[in-house]
Amino acid sequence: MTDLFAGMTGFLPALERIADGALLLRGFFAATEPELIADLRAIVKQAPFRHMVTPGGHTMSVAMTNCGASGWVTDRSGYRYDHIDPVSGQPWPAMPPSFRDLARRAAEQGGFDHFAPRACLINRYVPGAKMSLHQDKDELDLGAPIVSVSLGLPATFLFGGLQRGETPRKFRLDHGDIAVWGGPSRLAFHGVAPLADGEHPLMGPQRINLTFRKVA
């Protein structure tokens, strides 16, 4: 597996604060990239991507899977966390150390120490796929942050306020970037604009997003 940042000695990720309690870490996970992507492929082999259906009957354009003690699911009965994959009837794949360590280190950069995620939502975007503005509010522990890792094609991240009607700001997220938000921004509305066409040298014509949550 190729490390896109090989040979860049002294490389330090840039930190960009975008709101109170929210920041972007540019190029943060380069050093752990090969292990991270190998672990990602193993998870997807065990629990393949699928397009979930919302309670309103809408099929999501983003394909999803999960790893960790709990996984986020949606169907006609509602949004929830469940420790069983409804497709296989088996527990979700365990969260690998490469995932857990990356999430912990990223959270620390935002001042959220001792972050211990129990769920990692894995979203696959292909060109045209998007994520509408929403709040992450299905978790019992809202004191823990959200850590969101970007791989593959660049995306336009929409980050708004605590009210749906507030106009979100737009941020480009590239392969290796991580968004962290919590505290005053924990319930900020956020989403992803439709993904543009492209071909990433490592990930191909797609974007993969890893979203870590403590859940409870």
Where do the domains of the chain lie? 14-213
Q: Is the separation of the CB atoms in 189 and 164 below 8 Å?
A: yes
Q: How many helical (H) and strand (E) elements, i.e. helices and strands, does the chain have?
A: 2, 13
Question: Rounded CA gap, 63 and 48, in Å?
Answer: 9
Res 30: pLDDT: 75
Cα dihedral 80, 147, 36, 68 in deg (nearest 10): -30
Res 216: pLDDT: 83
Which of 191, 189, 105 is CA-nearest to residue 147? 105
Res 13: pLDDT: 64
The SS3 of residue 18 is strand
Q: Is the separation of the CB atoms in 117 and 100 below 8 Å?
A: yes
Q: What is the pLDDT along the chain (216 residues), one digit of tens a residue?
A: 333 333 333 445 689 999 999 999 999 987 678 999 999 999 999 999 999 999 999 999 999 999 999 999 999 999 999 999 999 999 999 999 999 999 999 999 999 999 999 999 999 999 999 999 999 999 988 999 999 999 999 999 999 999 999 999 999 999 999 999 999 999 999 999 999 999 999 999 999 999 999 998
CATH topology of domain 14-213: Jelly Rolls (2.60.120)
Helix axes 33-46, 97-109, angle to 10 degrees: 120
Which of 158, 131, 40, 54 is CA-nearest to residue 93? 40
Which of 202, 163, 213, 210 is CA-nearest to residue 28? 210
